[in-house]
Copies of this chain bind each other. A is one copy, B any other.
Amino acid sequence: MSEKQYVTYGQSCGCGGTDEAKKITGCRFSLSVMSDRYADIILGALAKVDTGKVWKMTDKLSTVYRGRQLHVEDAVMACFVHAFRPDVHMTLEATFSKGCPGDVDADRFMAEDDVPLNAAGMADIHFPVACKIALYPMGVPDYMRHIAAVVNHAIDLGLYERSSHYCTILSGDIHALFGYFHYVNTYCGENLSHYVFEVTLSVNSPTV
């Protein structure tokens, strides 16, 4: 009789992952292209992204980049920008995260410098984006205070549209939104030991 292999999260020391693992920023994301040409558009975009400074993996459900925060953000933005078509409805679901106690110091590029590989190629590409965000600060009782801090920064930046059930609605230019995501990931890296930041981007939706 074979024995089931159960997971054991939460049964170890409770001190979380290693110090090195806690420095890894990751993003698991999926592009959804509402077109018969979705495969060509996604593969074409991925081919244009320079992923030289992030560890990457693609499975049936999504792609994961892991490494230093700025390079992960740079590569995810590049995927979306290069998949953008003025006439095609497309969404991006992205989960940024750092500090999971179950994480391991593997599957990451951490020794890279501070020069983003994709920023120059995107600098002149602008388009408006509808966005929703949800932040989950893990393991702390005062998590609502941190959520309020990042939402209020979106208000300061003029990106905030409204609060809605289970998320906050934003809108703005693609560069302004990714600039804000950089702020959120930085804030969370400095103030939380483990967080999950969910982002949805949508372009060219026919829904008014």
Residues of B near A11 (CB, < 8 A) are 145, 148
**Beta-carbon nearest neighbor of A158 in chain B:** B4
B61 near A134: Cβ-Cβ < 8 Å: no
B166 near A64: Cβ-Cβ < 8 Å: yes
A132 at the B interface (CB under 8 A): yes
B10 near A142: Cβ-Cβ < 8 Å: yes
B7 near A151: Cβ-Cβ < 8 Å: yes
B156 near A4: Cβ-Cβ < 8 Å: yes
Q: Complex: how many Å from CA A97 to CA B164?
A: 13
B102 near A144: Cβ-Cβ < 8 Å: yes
A198 at the B interface (CB under 8 A): yes
A184 at the B interface (CB under 8 A): no
A208 to nearest B CB, angstroms?
7
Residues of B near A47 (CB, < 8 A) are none
**Beta-carbon nearest neighbor of A147 in chain B:** B9
**With A91-B32, A166-B100 as contacts: A148 and B8 at CB distance below 8 Å:** yes
B206 near A39: Cβ-Cβ < 8 Å: yes
**Beta-carbon nearest neighbor of A132 in chain B:** B61
A residues in contact (CB < 8 Å) with B? 4-11, 14, 26, 28, 30, 32-36, 38-39, 57-62, 64, 66, 89, 91, 93, 95, 97, 100-103, 107, 130-132, 134, 136, 138-148, 151-152, 155-156, 163-167, 169, 196, 198, 200, 202, 205-208
Q: What would 5 more interface pairs be, CB under 8 Å, given A11-B148, A61-B132, A166-B196? A: A7-B155, A9-B147, A30-B200, A34-B38, A95-B198
Interchain Cβ contacts under 8 Å between A and B, 15 examples: A6-B148, A6-B152, A8-B148, A26-B166, A32-B34, A34-B38, A39-B206, A60-B207, A60-B208, A61-B169, A64-B164, A64-B166, A95-B167, A136-B138, A138-B138
